[in-house]
Structure 1
Amino acid sequence: MTTNPSNQSILLAGASGVLGGHITKALTDAGHKVTALGRGPGNGISADLMDRDGLLRAVDGHHFDTVVHAATALRKAPLRHRDMHATNALRIEGTAHLIEAARATGARRFIAESMVFGYGYGDFGPRPLTEDDPFGPRGTRPELEKHIEGMRTKEQLTFAAPDLEGIALRFGLFYGPGGTDAILHMLRKRQLPAPDDHGRVLSWVELTDAARAVAAAVEHGRSGQAYNITDRTPLGFRAHVLCVAREFGLPKPIALPLWTVRPMAYAHTMMTSSQRVSSAKAERELGWTPAYPSSHDGLAALRAAR
């Protein structure tokens, strides 16, 4: 296992997001100093990743050991393909700009948030996907190619960045503190459609587990490597939402036919996909294991904490 210095100075893009807040705590708990980068006034460095010149001016004179790119443009779960467009741009242009900024600050390591949907959308069958499987295959439809292109390009830029040790973390679907609130709200109002899974499963990861994986990658990740970060219990979308309802004593989600979700095209694409993803490499090389090996475990902990 590679070991890098503790007490690093880390620049975190996306610190104001739900995952970013958990990453900040995990890195701080591990002894690192975190500086937030974002557009809002509460950030240590105020800049927009899409504004190259403004970003480079903002980081001028600063030094960081590691830069973490966890910025997205999502404020709620994407339902339509257009809901992903701004995040796609951040994954391409924003990543290129942040890599320039990282090099300007003398950073040695660059860690990029990636997603397991970079393996593609669709049914991948019963075999768990590993990092040896093709990542970023061309999308089967133009809208899907836009999303996959963003994830593909973000990783390519990360691994090809001169003078930087690039690492990508391919996360499963997030849930947990700050990430499950929208589902709770919609279940209480009986506004959440969740068609039958029909055997389809997706890979999930609890948010504090995801954040600990970032800290593990800062200290133990190998340059040029990607790591899947998921729990050990794939669940279909409806099965996950049923678990939320059981844990919090809420009505079951509305069981609608799958075709009724088609107007929410991105959600429909996700609900008709099936992926099992192995995080064995992360467990072996990063020394990371999920504290919550299933959604049941993570949601039980979330309920107990409230």
Structure 2
Amino acid sequence: MRVFVTGATGALGRHLVPGLIAAGHQVTATTRTPGKVARLREAGAEPVVVDGLDRDAVIAAARAAAPEVIVHQMTALASMRSLRKVDQVFAATNELRTRGTDNLLAAAAQAGTRRVVAQGHNFVYARSGGPLKTEEDPIDSRPIPSSARTVAAIKYVDRIVPLTAPEGIVLRYGTFYGPGASDQLVDGVRKRQLPVIGGGTGIWSFIEITDAAAATLAAVERGAPGVYNVVDDDPAPVAEAAVPGQGRGREAAAAPARLARAAARRGVRGGPDDRGARVLESEGKEGARLGAAVRELAGGIPCLGQRMRRARPSIGRCCSPSPTE
């Protein structure tokens, strides 16, 4: 298929584009940075330099590519170093998730593209009830004030993509980690910039970055329209990742070691290309799949994430996080 990937040089895009090429798809890949064009061409994609907020340019690029699928992975988080002021840090990304999404949906309509697969996040569930959430659980109507605009932007993608695109799919990823995706987390730990509430007992759901790319590839190729949780099956307390505020200097610099020790207690090992930890699910890498209940999305691709309930094909489970827990 002809696939138009935006944000193709980001944390997920850099794994998704080679996966799409290997699967035999014809990929047009966008970047805002001319210096990254060669990297996309070497991966086998047709590169296009375009700003996702330039509506006319986005529409023109999509019409020229005539894609059968558009993948929205645009963010602006490469320089993120702290989560103390979430809305401030995510301001540009929020624009890409609102205006940028509108631009891509308009481009899809003009290019005749039916399927749009967009990046979502699981930081949208109400902080009430049990810790495991399905896509049908309530959405948080009163997010933490410092993250209100960010949550609103994520919720906008959740709503507008399935509503507008004939085959609109939103993937509510867990927090990324793995090759090229953990540096910011580790740097935040080192600099004591990752906020932890109380004893750090808040639970986050994670997804290894290459698994997230595999799930996205599955959604490109198949799956009913709607919203899906895409997380691994080992949610973790924030305290296992970092304890900022405890120690300075040498002790703060040892934070990644604390991360590694905590990971080891949970059967986690470090990846060869990653300064963080790579979770290997308790059933083993090949045993962790999206599950028979959503076979039409997963297509048997290994290690896609959380096992799903069998009652409803559209339901997955993840933990109920908040950006500062």
TM-score, normalised via structure 2 length? 0.68
**Contact kept? 2:203, 2:238, Cα under 8 Å:** yes
Q: How does 1:150-299 map to 2 (within 5 A)?
A: 150-162=153-165, 164-185=166-187, 195=196, 197-223=199-225, 225-241=226-242, 245=257, 284-287=295-298, 288-290=301-303
The corresponding residue for 1:131 is 135
Alignment deviations for residues 77-118 of structure 1 (CA, whole Å, 9 cap, x no partner): 552230111111111111000111122222221001000002
**Contact kept? 2:81, 2:193, Cα under 8 Å:** no
Distance 1:9 1:77, change over 3 A: farther
Structure 1 residue 222: Cα displacement:
0.5
1:49 maps to a residue whose letter is G
Provide the C-alpha distance between the structure 1 equivalents of 2:161 and 2:304, rounded to a whole number of angstroms: 28
Structure 1 residue 16: Cα displacement:
1.2
Provide the C-alpha distance between the structure 1 equivalents of 2:187 and 2:151, rounded to a whole number of angstroms: 30
Distance 1:284 1:56, change over 3 A: closer
Provide the C-alpha distance between the structure 2 equivalents of 1:146 and 1:190, rounded to a whole number of angstroms: 25
Higher relative contact order (CA 8 A, sep 6+): 1
Alignment deviations for residues 163-209 of structure 1 (CA, whole Å, 9 cap, x no partner): x310010000010001122344566x675667574532110000000
Q: Give the 3-state SS of the residue equivalent to 1:212 in structure 2.
A: helix
Q: Give the 3-state SS of the residue equivalent to 1:138 in structure 2.
A: coil
Provide the C-alpha distance between the structure 2 equivalents of 1:83 and 1:233, rounded to a whole number of angstroms: 27
TM-score, normalised via structure 1 length? 0.72
Alignment deviations for residues 139-173 of structure 1 (CA, whole Å, 9 cap, x no partner): 345443311210111122201215x3100100000
Match of 1:74 among 73, 77, 80: 77
Q: How does 1:26-37 map to 2 (within 5 A)?
A: 26-37=19-30
Match of 1:61 among 52, 60, 64: 64
Distance 1:200 1:281, change over 3 A: farther
Provide the C-alpha distance between the structure 2 equivalents of 1:190 and 1:84, rounded to a whole number of angstroms: 19
Q: Give the 3-state SS of the residue equivalent to 1:233 in structure 2.
A: coil
The corresponding residue for 1:303 is none
Q: Give the 3-state SS of the residue equivalent to 1:286 in structure 2.
A: helix
**Contact kept? 1:78, 1:84, Cα under 8 Å:** no
- Give me the identity figure in percent: 33
Gapped regions of structure 2 (runs ≥ 5): 38-46, 244-254, 263-289, 307-325
**Contact kept? 2:16, 2:214, Cα under 8 Å:** yes
Match of 1:88 among 82, 94, 100: 94
Provide the C-alpha distance between the structure 2 equivalents of 1:193 and 1:169, rounded to a whole number of angstroms: 25
Alignment deviations for residues 273-299 of structure 1 (CA, whole Å, 9 cap, x no partner): xxxxxx668754422452688xxxxxx
The corresponding residue for 1:18 is 11
**Contact kept? 1:183, 1:241, Cα under 8 Å:** no
Gapped regions of structure 1 (runs ≥ 5): 1-7, 251-278, 294-306
2:95 maps to a residue whose letter is A
Alignment deviations for residues 247-271 of structure 1 (CA, whole Å, 9 cap, x no partner): 8689xxxxxxxxxxxxxxxxxxxxx
Q: Give the 3-state SS of the residue equivalent to 1:117 in structure 2.
A: coil
Structure 1 residue 30: Cα displacement:
2.1
**Contact kept? 2:82, 2:193, Cα under 8 Å:** no
Q: Give the 3-state SS of the residue equivalent to 1:15 in structure 2.
A: coil
1:133 maps to a residue whose letter is D
Provide the C-alpha distance between the structure 1 equivalents of 2:88 and 2:136, rounded to a whole number of angstroms: 30
